Amino acid sequence: MTAYGGRKLYDLLTKDFISLEYKLGRDAFFDVLRDRDLLVKRRKSYIKTTNSFHHHYVYKNLILELEVLRVNQVFVADITYIRITGGFLYLSLITDLYSRRIMGWCLGESLDAAYSVHALNMALEHVKDGSGLIHHSDRGVQYCCREYTKILIKNHISISMAEAGNPYENAVAERVNGILKDEFFLNQTFPSKRLAMKATEQAIAIYNEARPHLSLNMKTPAQKYFENKNNSTKKIFPPRGDLWLAGSNIQANYKLSEGTDMDFINN
């Protein structure tokens, strides 16, 4: 079950209203939702996931005046938290700015860069040539560290970063976080890591394949992405079980700081 915003829900129901010859304006529709306490309640995040105080090189913002005209032109990256009993998990996301499609993701037990690296590698499976792609993020250590930037440089991807303390420069990534939490109920406290992972996987799949966006003319991110790329209707994610790498494989590929907990959450 999802919690659609009132405006989107009204647009989805308009055809039904017309077929039933039922006249209900948008303001009146919102009054109905409000009277029944059915409006989506936005929650503010108070958990800090960005550490901008580090010695790594910080890149300039390349997308301030950029007109985004196609898929695989700009990927935006961000990290948000998922509450579980006794602590938190951290969700790394890579989103295509044009289509709003989530291209890669990883749910980890810490803010270690390896989880962001895993999400990036998943996203790059859909990119044949990175020379025309910009990767945009905040200035967090996960995105500035060598383990992360060397992948971008190797794939000829331009690196862009928001100004420190200005979340509006990465607004789409923040918006995707809010949708997953407010509309797909990832803002709750999960009793276990397994349930949190299952809910996250389902939320992302539904977000990509079934949730229409007003900014996309009521198309889903998957429709917009493949319509622009190659008019394909292929599925977004590989079968279950292919989404996660064992911690030993990650450690073999990336040199991590001593003592890092690299246990991924199993299906």
Cα-flanking dihedrals φ and ψ of residue 76, to 5°? -110, 140
What is the per-residue pLDDT across 157-182, written as a single tens digit (0 to 9) for each? 999 999 875 656 788 998 999 999 98
State phi, psi for 4 to the nearest 5 degrees.
-70, 145
Q: What pLDDT score does 234 carry?
A: 46
* 4 pLDDT higher than 70: no
Whether 254 shows a pLDDT value over 60: the answer reads: no
pLDDT tens per residue, range 22-60: 666 666 666 666 666 666 555 555 555 454 555 789 999
The full 3-state SS of the chain, as one line of letters, equals CCCCCHHHHHHHHHHHHHHCCCCCCHHHHHHHHHHCCCCCCCCCCCCCCCCCCCCCCCCCCCCCCCCCCCCCCEEEEEEEEEEECCEEEEEEEEEECCCCCEEEEEEECCCCHHHHHHHHHHHHCCCCCHHHCEEEECCCHHHHCHHHHHHHHHCCCEEEECCCCCHHHHHHHHHHHHHHHHCCCCCCEECCHHHHHHHHHHHHHHHHHHCCEHHHCCECHHHHHHHHHCCCCCCCCCCCCCCCCCHHHHHHHCCCCCCCCCCCCCC
Name the β-bridge partners of 81: 90
- The answer on pLDDT for 118 being more than 80 is yes
Task: Return d(Cα 18, Cα 24) in angstroms, integer.
Answer: 9
Residue pair 89/110 in contact by the 8 Å Cβ criterion? no
Give me the percent of the chain exceeding a pLDDT of 70.
64
Q: What is the mean pLDDT of residues 196-208?
A: 96
CB count in 10 Å sphere of residue 207: 24
Assess whether pLDDT exceeds 60 at residue 242: no
The yes-or-no verdict on residue 154 having pLDDT over 70 is: yes
pLDDT at 123 over 60: yes
In the block, which residue shows the tokens 């079934």?
Answer: 210
* pTM for this entry: 0.71
Instruction: Please give the pLDDT value at position 23.
Output: 67
The mean-pLDDT minimum among 81-90, 196-205, 208-217, 239-248 falls in 239-248
Mean pLDDT, to the nearest integer, of 140-153?
Answer: 96
pLDDT at residue number 54: 52
Taken in order of first residue, the domains within the chain and their CATH numbers are 6-35 (no CATH), 74-253 (3.30.420.10)
- Mean pLDDT (the chain) is 78
pLDDT on residue 149 = 97
Rg of the Cα atoms in the chain? 19
